[in-house]
């Protein structure tokens, strides 16, 4: 999307995200298994425009798709795409029927076992709608941000649990205060994880899997002395941009937590926002549902365990280890923490009463948000203290 005008970039994002959210339904409408695989994405894009984008005329959606097919595969392919999309436009029986399943069947079944059919339906419905944009104050406080947005004619409302402001429409770069670093775009769940962590002002914190840097910035605005590291160098540029724009004091490093980048017992607090299946944030990342496989959960859980073990070495006696994910899978969350505590008896749960609403706490005292229940991304966090 680099080099595209802003309006075209937004349309391209809407098309790609929309196709990913509705892929199974689109494939059923198109009877896509009969089509040349080279035409699959062209057909999906055309069908999505016909079914969901009223501002794109039907003839334009069809003709553009036909032209793409002709260029990519040839004249016979163009005729096939023309016929298939015209069936969708007419609303033929196959096109009207939806599978009702917009997630991989194995994942939907897994959630049904855990949550039951009604909650699973609500969870998948949440994932299939574009999520609202939430702003978290950075250089401006919440009251100033609300006032400036309102004065500019931007409709705002409080995010759930008072975790930021939601706007009805608009692009972050076009909002008052963007260039000044007034705010960050961050889902309420991630802001709530930082609140739950309750890391004291002045504490030396290592954010070990930090990029793109939202939690590091939030910790710094709350008074922590933050060093933000990540092994993924390509994502560090985004982190640096967020830090420069918001003007916080965060020291960035390219470091692999598994390679013991610091001496043992050297940090007041370590945050491990671990790589995970992202099953709690599929509304923001609709591609995640199709990239995920059943085996990935176990592989990621093993990596998370290794990261936790490495982080535990860095926490000084009396310090904190905060483990977080954007997953709603127990293997990555509460089970991961229970197994860690068995391996590391010097650590124990240390939640801070009142840090977040009680309804967001598990029976063990960990943080857990669920999209269909709380209206925010699904996220998990455990606050673990090391004995002195």
Catalytic residue positions, numbered: 326
CA within 13 Å, CB half, 331: 15
Q: Is the CB of residue 376 less than 8 Å from the CB of residue 192?
A: yes
Q: Is the CB of residue 149 less than 8 Å from the CB of residue 176?
A: yes
C-alpha dist (Å) from residue 284 to 86, 289, 373: 31, 11, 17
For residues 367 and 358, give the distance between their C-alpha atoms in angstroms, rounded to a whole number.
9
C-alpha dist (Å) from residue 249 to 13, 246, 328: 32, 9, 32
Residue 253 backbone phi and psi in degrees, to 5:
-140, 145
DSSP letter for each residue of 327-363? ---GGGTHHHHHHHHHH-TTEEE-PPTTSS-GGGB-T
Residue 157 DSSP symbol: E
For residues 85 and 48, give the distance between their C-alpha atoms in angstroms, rounded to a whole number.
10
The three-class DSSP label of residue 365 is coil
Strands 315-325 and 379-386: antiparallel
Long-range contacts of 25-32 (CB under 8 A, 24+ apart): 25/98, 25/99, 25/100, 25/101, 25/102, 26/51, 28/94, 28/97, 28/98, 28/99, 29/88, 29/94, 29/95, 29/96, 29/97, 29/98, 30/84, 30/88, 30/95, 31/84, 31/94
Scan for tokens 């990555």, then name that residue: 332
Scan for tokens 């009223």, then name that residue: 54
For residues 352 and 344, give the distance between their C-alpha atoms in angstroms, rounded to a whole number.
21
Residue 95 backbone phi and psi in degrees, to 5:
-70, -30
């Amino acid at each position: 999307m680099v080099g595209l005008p802003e309006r075209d970039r937004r349309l391209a994002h809407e098309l790609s995200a929309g196709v990913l959210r509705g892929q199974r339904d689109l494939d059923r409408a198109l009877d896509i298994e009969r089509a040349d695989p080279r035409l699959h994405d062209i057909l999906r894009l055309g069908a999505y425009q016909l079914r969901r984008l009223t501002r794109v005329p039907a003839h334009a959606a069809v003709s553009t798709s036909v032209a793409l097919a002709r260029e990519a595969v040839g004249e016979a392919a163009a005729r096939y795409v023309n016929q298939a999309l015209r069936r969708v436009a007419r609303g033929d029986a196959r096109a009207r029927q939806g599978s009702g399943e917009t997630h991989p069947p194995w994942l939907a079944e897994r959630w049904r076992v855990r949550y039951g059919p009604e909650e699973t339906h609500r969870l998948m419905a949440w994932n299939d709608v574009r999520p609202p944009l939430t702003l978290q104050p950075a250089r401006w406080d919440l009251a100033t941000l609300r006032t400036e947005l309102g004065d500019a004619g931007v409709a705002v409302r409080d995010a759930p649990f008072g975790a930021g402001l939601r706007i009805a429409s608009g692009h972050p770069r076009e909002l008052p205060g963007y260039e000044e670093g007034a705010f960050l775009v961050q889902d309420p769940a991630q802001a709530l994880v930082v609140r739950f962590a309750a890391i004291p002002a002045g504490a030396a914190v290592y954010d070990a899997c930090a990029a793109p840097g939202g939690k590091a910035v939030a910790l710094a605005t709350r008074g922590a002395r933050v060093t933000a590291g990540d092994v993924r160098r390509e994502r560090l540029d985004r982190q640096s941009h967020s830090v420069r724009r918001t003007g916080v004091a965060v020291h960035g490093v390219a470091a692999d937590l598994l390679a013991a980048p610091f001496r043992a017992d050297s940090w007041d607090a370590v945050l491990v926002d671990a790589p995970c299946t992202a099953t709690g944030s599929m509304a923001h990342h609709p591609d995640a549902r199709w990239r995920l496989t059943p085996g990935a959960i176990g592989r990621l859980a093993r990596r998370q365990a290794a990261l936790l073990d490495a982080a535990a070495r860095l926490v000084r006696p009396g310090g904190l280890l905060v483990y977080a994910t954007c997953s709603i899978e127990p293997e990555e969350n509460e089970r991961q923490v229970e197994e860690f505590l068995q391996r590391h008896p010097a650590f124990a749960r240390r939640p801070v009463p009142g840090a977040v609403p009680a309804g967001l706490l598990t029976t063990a005292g960990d943080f857990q948000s669920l999209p269909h229940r709380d209206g925010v991304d699904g996220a998990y966090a455990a606050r673990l203290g090391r004995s002195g």
